[in-house]
Amino acid sequence: MKLTKLLPAAAALTALPAMGFAQEAGVDAASDTIFIFNSLLFLIGGFLVFWMAAGFAMLEAGLVRTKNVAMQLTKNVALFSLAAIFYYLIGYNLMYPLGTWSVDGVLSGVWGVGVLEAVGVARDGADDYGYAATASDFFFQLMFCATTASIVSGTLAERIKLWPFLAFTVVLTAVIYPLQASWKWGGGFLDAAGFLDFAGSTVVHSVGGWAALAGLLVLGPRIGKYKDGRVNPIPGSNLTLATLGTFILWLGWFGFNGASQLAMGTVGDVADVSRIFANTNTAAAGGAIAAMIMTQLLYKKVDLTMVLNGALAGLVSITAEPLTPTLGAATIIGAIGGILVVITVPLLDKLKLDDVVGAIPVHLVCGIWGTIAVVFTNGDASLGTQLYSIVVVGIFTFVVSLVVWFILKALVGIRVSEEDEINGLDKAELGMEAYPEFSKG
Amino acid sequence: MKLTKLLPAAAALTALPAMGFAQEAGVDAASDTIFIFNSLLFLIGGFLVFWMAAGFAMLEAGLVRTKNVAMQLTKNVALFSLAAIFYYLIGYNLMYPLGTWSVDGVLSGVWGVGVLEAVGVARDGADDYGYAATASDFFFQLMFCATTASIVSGTLAERIKLWPFLAFTVVLTAVIYPLQASWKWGGGFLDAAGFLDFAGSTVVHSVGGWAALAGLLVLGPRIGKYKDGRVNPIPGSNLTLATLGTFILWLGWFGFNGASQLAMGTVGDVADVSRIFANTNTAAAGGAIAAMIMTQLLYKKVDLTMVLNGALAGLVSITAEPLTPTLGAATIIGAIGGILVVITVPLLDKLKLDDVVGAIPVHLVCGIWGTIAVVFTNGDASLGTQLYSIVVVGIFTFVVSLVVWFILKALVGIRVSEEDEINGLDKAELGMEAYPEFSKG
Amino acid sequence: MKLTKLLPAAAALTALPAMGFAQEAGVDAASDTIFIFNSLLFLIGGFLVFWMAAGFAMLEAGLVRTKNVAMQLTKNVALFSLAAIFYYLIGYNLMYPLGTWSVDGVLSGVWGVGVLEAVGVARDGADDYGYAATASDFFFQLMFCATTASIVSGTLAERIKLWPFLAFTVVLTAVIYPLQASWKWGGGFLDAAGFLDFAGSTVVHSVGGWAALAGLLVLGPRIGKYKDGRVNPIPGSNLTLATLGTFILWLGWFGFNGASQLAMGTVGDVADVSRIFANTNTAAAGGAIAAMIMTQLLYKKVDLTMVLNGALAGLVSITAEPLTPTLGAATIIGAIGGILVVITVPLLDKLKLDDVVGAIPVHLVCGIWGTIAVVFTNGDASLGTQLYSIVVVGIFTFVVSLVVWFILKALVGIRVSEEDEINGLDKAELGMEAYPEFSKG
């Protein structure tokens, strides 16, 4: 995603060569068209990224044990809903603090017109004529905030309490995500420094990963995962769901990366969106195939979970720069992501970091990799600035998250009792089962 | 959905300020563009609403017991298919009776050109130049008819016979839905009276709910649900499916409400579609969170099924007016929907109304609530007219449905035998199982 | 899909009536708009067809036994990924051999600019100004190639080895599919002969079917399927997944057929895309209902699997010509497809051809039927040319596939050991289970 508020005017201008007065109506029609195309891109991109919320829910429900499935589903529906509300109440105005944020603004946001333009807004009344409808932009940006929150839930599955987890989600989506996102996408200091992160390998994915890592350190591993110096694999209960989730995420990513072009009303913009679609797809393919070959070589057997995470790793890796690579370069960037995941998953286990779904390898490690990889295909990128930004965003997110997790732990506790964990969160916290009729093997 | 046939010309006009003769080609290009954008909105909206058919199928398959899953899936595929065929054969022409409906018309619809425009229609030959392609409109409208039918199947699950249910579906989609829809969207007397129902809280959702309620009264509760004065909860067999279904419906609702703007070829229209997307999303979030908090307060445990129904309740509630509310108002309208569901579900049980998936609380109760809520944010709405229309549509749908259900009961019976119900409809009526290899707990 | 490279200019021209010099900027704006609409059609169509990969995965995972589910999922993710890479490396240039294919081209494709246009390409620099962005076209075409490969995996499920299967996928997507597709869509001799296949009943679906049939003959039936002269039905393990897969495929087909119009920047084009959406939907409905009625008549019970395959059969049947039929004709074409599937499935069993998911009845038989049916509604079609093309494509694909399967069998073997087949491919080849916690009935 480029800088939201500054780009559109430029985009509109390039599409409108000097025209005489006699053609003013034509000019308006043309820039109406650009406005509509850009808004439409946000709407399509937005519903595709919305769909990723379902993808995370299915992926995570497939990778936990049956006794925790209903809880994992509950968390995913609730975190998306909270993100929608708190990003609207606080986050959006915090992220784009162009003189609009104020207590008044938030309050009027709740009960008044809020961030949306007037109904049936006229050309002259549009907030950003030449760019896009404000509500379409808001809708799209909201989905990125929610995605960040989705990343956290998988890592901490199977032992975190519901309400403290949701409390963290509120802080993450209302404050942590929007604040650091404003540094890049809100025109802040990282943007000024030349940091390049097209659709958020760092701003979204690594931030989700850092927040998850902080939570993991406070929360500790699941009972029985590391015992007597050995790592006991805990297989996911439903690999069709995990595969479905991966396909959903892959689909949603076309919106995630593609609509981060933020414009499609000119020949150049729609051609760029098209490049991004093609590159995003091939990076995922590269990640899946690389992970498949790696597991065959290392373990003599293909590991489906790794193939799925390989595809996701490819997607995260290409997210910082899905536009400038060639198809070949995109495939390789994705493939390296897939390899990184296969290498990192056992490393985490050595550190006794029990990441249930592999979100840290996929979103944090490959988020960093993808951000660095920008320098290989985009001449405007500087390795120093990329690394500096990764570190700044990482330290901020990790430290603030750690503090929030500690506060939650001190105030209400974040981990269920040992008995509840063994019996499963579904019975203990929800009093229901995801699959009540299927007997357990 | 505004009045289909009258709006577009107005929309086109506002986009075309007075232009001289010399720019006629430019004018045509601009109104071509409007035509294309509007058609595209219908196509995107249409495929999103199509996707809701899958959402209902998954939601219902997840909320019935395993022994009835294959039957519930069969009903969902079959009802959508029948809706597609009978809305085309009869319903569409009945709904828009602008001098086109006739036996001849239907016959020519089957074997002749039918409702579709000619292949490669030229600007001058288009039925509604300045609006949209006829087939795109048909495609979109059809999906609303099918949605209405989908609502019924969940309520009556686990004991209704396949073929009588499908016979009712035919009557509903060929006659009941189109007739009452014509009163509002076909420019009929409710529209003339000033009734406002943007995307169908009443016209679609409450109609599905009334038809389901009529069926429920004739059909009776499942065996064992109400026994010795107690309500025995019968948990759904697969909550991941139910959650997936809810996410699918949520996604599809962007098309349902958003494309009911019926136009996106002008700045004002696309900004409105964007508002609708944002409001639809936040209403669902409000409904989910409200239901979550309510169940925590009332039952000391969060209930996932209620959270899911809460999100759907929020969606139904915002459907009558997704445009004029602010984000805050939309959230609250949705949240009240979520609260209504949590309150209504046990009330139905007290009345021994055994609604398997909660379709009556979600679609009927919140459909009524949403229709009333229009008056809070849309100055053109009159509470009296809204209530009058709710009652007119309700009485018509309920009475006609009741008559049809009674006729079906008298002619062929609508309920399976007690033995078949206990053994499950899958074995009895289909001779197959949804999950043949999983042993039952 | 019409001939890709020749159509667009014509489409652009019809939209641009003679205009004077003074309106040149307006002309450019208009043809920019066409370029954007066409590219957008490919992007939307492309992501919908991508989604079909998930549909095939779910359908197949639902129709195999639990012991082979993880393997079937692995194959589906891997085959899509390989298709993405090899169609890019070799296939695309082979399919559109308009002077661009060369060793150099492929190599530069990998490491250089490849098939994509420059970033932010200007109007004058676009490969096909007046048509669409090259990357959008590539993205869309790629998905068709991947679909062809998806068809094969279902037929051969539950006994084929992973790596030989993937090796075949590489040959299919790099060479077999692109080569024969170039004969029609690359402007080759079948196109010159007047062969009509709008979106690929023959070019995609029958090709997948022929390749699957060849593999089936070399591979043989599953152990226990045909025993003592009897056919033992082996029911699918999860019919909700199979139903979900069918709905996904149905949804994706709107992109598959609709975007094969290849243009939507004019009134005529968008009206045609709309016709195609409506016809595609009704054909699926016709197929589902026909199969439902047929199974009721033949077996006295509705068969859900047949209903699902009936819907898919309707979709395949309308794919060769989704534009010219009326809604009535489309319904009937689809219904005949549904009937053909119900008739063909037991016929295959009589021939001891063990097609696990019914891909040959659906994609090969109905692919042929659909290709023939073009003559009923499109006056430009010649029965002789249609049959000739079916035979040419069929012989080529079948013979080459057979040779490749035999080579793979001779070199590495394509079938797992008897023990592995009985234990299931998941444990034997992957060392993991799809549903490890569910005990088997």
Question: What pLDDT does C106 receive?
Answer: 44
Q: Which tokens go with A55? A: 């993808």
Residue B432 has its nearest CB partner, among C65, C235, C247, at C235
DSSP state of A227: E
Query: What is the spatial distance between Cα A309 and Cα A288, in angstroms, rounded to a whole number?
Result: 7
* Amino acid letter for position C426: D
On chain C, the residues whose CB falls within 8 A of the CB of B53 are 247
Measure the CA–CA gap between C439 and C389, rounded to whole angstroms: 50
* Domain count across chain A: 1
Measured CA to CA in angstroms, residue B248 lies from A52, A216, B51 at distances of 11, 31, 7
For residue A273, what pLDDT band results from cuts at 50, 70 and 90?
Answer: very high
Residue of B253, B302, B376 to mutate, interface with A, max A Cβ within 10 Å: B302
Residues A197-226: pLDDT tens digits?
A: 999 999 999 999 999 999 999 999 999 999
The shortest C-alpha distance from C29 to chain A (Å) reads: 6
Q: Which amino acid makes up residue B284?
A: A
* ∠ CA A38-C23-C30, rounded to 5°: 30
Separation CA A206–CA A389 (nearest Å): 11
The residue of chain A nearest to residue C50, with distances taken between CA atoms, is: A251
Nearest CB to B326; choose among A54, A114, A434: A114
Given an 8 Å threshold on Cβ–Cβ distance, is A121 in contact with B302? no
Question: Residue range C82-108: average pLDDT?
Answer: 70
Residue C120 lies in a domain: no
Report the C-alpha gap between A329 and A378 in whole angstroms. 12
What pLDDT band is residue C117 in, cutting at 50, 70 and 90? confident
> Would the pLDDT of B248 be above 60?
yes
Q: What is the pLDDT of residues A96-145, one digit of tens each?
A: 754 444 444 444 443 333 578 889 999 988 888 889 999 999 999 999 99
| Burial class of residue A410 (count of CB atoms within 10 Å of its CB; 0-12, 13-18, 19+) | exposed
Number of alpha helices (DSSP H) and beta strands (DSSP E) in chain A: 19, 2
* pLDDT at position A5: 39
Q: Which residues of B touch C301 (CB under 8 A)?
A: 429-431
The reported pLDDT for the residue numbered B27 is: 67
Mean pLDDT over B398-410 rounds to 98
> Looking at CA atoms only, how far is residue B204 from chain C in angstroms?
21
Dump pLDDT digits (tens) for C413-423: 999 999 999 99
Bridge partners of B415?
A: B160
d(CA B142, CA B91) in angstroms, rounded, equals 9
Altogether, the residues listed in chain A come to a count of 441
The residue written with tokens 């500690």 in the block is A406
Is B27 a domain residue?
no
Chain A residues lying within 8 Å of B265, measured CB to CB: 36
Tell me the C-alpha to C-alpha distance, in Å, between residue A97 and each of A91, B274, B275, C434: 10, 22, 21, 48
Cβ–Cβ below 8 Å for B248 and A133: no
What ranges in B220-326 are assigned the alpha helix state H? 239-258, 267-299, 304-319
Cβ neighbours of residue A399 closer than 8 Å, sequence gap 6 or more: none
User: Has residue A17 been placed in a domain?
Assistant: no
Chain CA centroid to CA C177, Å: 10
- The CATH code of the domain that includes C274 is 1.10.3430.10
- B29 domain residue, yes or no: no
| Closest residue on chain B to C287 (Cα) | B81
Q: Do B250 and A50 touch (CB under 8 A)?
A: yes
With 0-12 / 13-18 / 19 or more C-beta atoms within 10 angstroms meaning exposed / middle / buried, residue B172 is buried
Closest CA to C29 of A283, A55, A23, B197: A23
The reply to whether B28 falls in a domain is no
pLDDT of the residue at A26 = 62
Residues of chain B neighbouring C29 (CB-CB closer than 8 A): 29
Got the DSSP string for A345-357? HHHHHHTT---TT
Quote the CA–CA distance of B244 and A56 in Å, as a whole number: 11
Q: Regarding predicted confidence, which is higher, A27 or A85?
A: A85
Residues of B in contact with C246 (CB under 8 A): 77
Q: Given B46, B430, B434, which is nearest C302 (Cβ)?
A: B430
In a domain, C395, yes or no: yes
d(CA C170, CA C162): 13
Do the chains contact at B120 and C268, CB–CB below 8 Å? yes
Query: How far does Cα C343 stand from its chain's mean position?
Result: 22
Share the mean pLDDT of chain A.
90
Contacts of residue C337 in chain B, CB cutoff 8 Å?
Answer: none
| Chain A residues with beta carbon closer than 8 angstroms to that of B48 | 47
Q: Give the DSSP letter of residue A114.
A: T
ipTM: 0.93
Residue-wise pLDDT tens digits, B279-330: 999 999 999 999 999 999 999 999 999 999 999 999 999 999 999 999 999 9
Do residue B114 and residue C328 have CB atoms under 8 angstroms apart?
Answer: yes
The pLDDT value given to residue A2? 44
Cα A238 to Cα A236: distance, rounded to the nearest angstrom: 6
A contacts of B33 (beta carbons < 8 Å): 29, 33
Least Cα distance to A310 among A327, A325, A298, A295 occurs for: A295
Note the pLDDT of residue B99: 41
Kind plus residue range of the DSSP H or E element containing C75: helix C69-86
User: What pLDDT is stored for residue B106 in this prediction?
Assistant: 43
Confidence band of B97 (pLDDT split at 50, 70, 90): low
Structure confidence at residue C114 (pLDDT): 55
Give C218's pLDDT tier (boundaries 50, 70, 90): very high
Looking at residue C190, what is its pLDDT? 94
Contacts of C402 (CB under 8 A, 6+ apart): C214, C217, C218
The alpha carbon dihedral of A353, A358, A361, A363 has a sign of: negative
Average the pLDDT over each of B182-196, B254-268, C348-362 and give the range with the smallest value: B182-196
Partners of residue C226 on adjacent β-strands? C231
> How close A105 gets to chain C, by Cα (Å)?
36
Q: Cα separation of A345 and A368, whole Å?
A: 16
CB A412 within 8 A of CB A164: yes
Those chains having 3 or more beta-carbon pairs within 8 angstroms of chain C are: A, B
According to DSSP, residue C323 is labeled S
Measuring CA to CA, which residue among A440, A182, C412, A241 is closest to residue B439?
A440
Structural domain boundaries enclosing C92: 8-14+26-112+135-430
Cβ–Cβ below 8 Å for B133 and C17? no
**Cβ distance of C117 and A244 shorter than 8 Å:** no
Interface test with C, best of A250, A270, A295, A376 (most C CBs within 10 A): A270
What is the pLDDT of chain B when averaged over all its residues?
90
CA distances from C419 to A244, C422, C423 (A): 29, 5, 6
Chain C CB contacts of B142 below 8 Å: 278, 281
Q: Is residue B18's pLDDT more than 50?
A: no
Closest in B240, B326, B435 to A113, CB measured: B326
CA B271, B276, B281: angle at the middle one, nearest 5? 130
- What confidence category does residue C309 fall into, taking pLDDT thresholds of 50, 70 and 90? very high
- Return all residues near C21 (Cβ < 8 A) that are at least 6 apart: none
Residue of C94 and A183 predicted with greater confidence: A183
Radius of gyration of chain C (CA): 22
Q: Is residue B262 part of a domain?
A: yes
- Whether the pLDDT of residue C430 is over 60: the answer is yes
Minimal Cβ distance to B70: which of C265, C304, C323: C304
Chain B residue whose CA is closest to A126: B267
Q: Which of B243, B251, B298, B308 to mutate to test the interface with A (most CBs of A within 10 A)?
A: B243
Chain segment C330-355, per-residue pLDDT in tens: 999 999 999 999 999 999 999 999 99
The answer to whether residue B23 sits within a structural domain is no
How does pLDDT run across C146-170, given as a tens digit for each residue?
999 999 999 999 999 999 999 999 9
Residue A411 is predicted with a pLDDT of 97
Neighbours of chain A (3+ CB pairs under 8 A): B, C
Mean pLDDT across the stretch B162-182? 96
**Per-residue DSSP letters for C277-315?**
HHHHHHHHHHHHHHHHHHHHHHHSS--HHHHHHHHHHHH
Burial A59-77 (b: 16+ CB within 10 A, else e): bbbbbbbbbbbbbbbbbbb
pLDDT average, residue stretch C15-43: 71
Amino acid at B70: A
Interval C180-196: pLDDT, tens = 999 999 888 999 999 99
**Chain C partners within 8 Å of A326 (Cβ):** 109-114, 116
CB proximity list for C407: less than 8 A, separation 6 or greater: none
Give contacts of C277 with chain B, Cβ < 8 Å: 43, 46-47, 135-136, 139
Among chain B residues, CA nearest to A27: B26
Nearest residue of chain B to residue A434 (CA atoms): B239
Single pTM value for the model: 0.94
Between residues B107 and C376, the one the model is more confident about: C376
The pLDDT value recorded for residue B56 is 98
Of B26, B237, B328, the CB nearest to A26: B26
- State how far the Cα of B225 lies from the Cα of B100, in Å rounded to an integer: 49
Q: Which residues of A touch B30 (CB under 8 A)?
A: 26, 29
SS (H, E, C) A376-405: HHCCCCCHHHHHHHHHHHHHHHHHHHHHHH
For residue B250, the chain A residues in CB contact (below 8 A) are 50
The 10s digit of each residue's pLDDT in B101-120 is: 444 444 444 333 356 888 99
B227-236 pLDDT, tens digit each: 988 999 999 9
Cβ-contact B243, B304 below 8 angstroms: yes
Å from C241 to nearest chain B CA?
Answer: 9
Q: Is A81's CB within 8 Å of B286's CB?
A: yes
DSSP per position, C367-428: HHHHHHHHHHH-TT--HHHHHHHHHHHHHHHHHHHHHHHHHHHHHT-SB--HHHHHH-HIII
Confidence at residue A169, expressed as pLDDT on a 0 to 100 scale: 98
Compute the distance between CA of residue C359 and CA of residue C150 in angstroms, rounded to an integer.
Answer: 10
> Which two structure tokens, joined as six digits, stand for A12?
């509109």
DSSP state of C321: -
Which of A113, A122, A436 is the closest to B237 by Cβ?
Answer: A436
- Asked if A61 contacts A53 with a C-beta cutoff of 8 angstroms, the reply is no
Distance between CA atoms of residues C141 and B344, nearest Å: 51
Cβ pair B435:A432 closer than 8 A: no
Could B46 and C277 be called an inter-chain contact, meaning their C-beta atoms sit closer than 8 Å?
yes
**What are the tens digits of pLDDT across the range B55-69?**
999 999 999 999 999
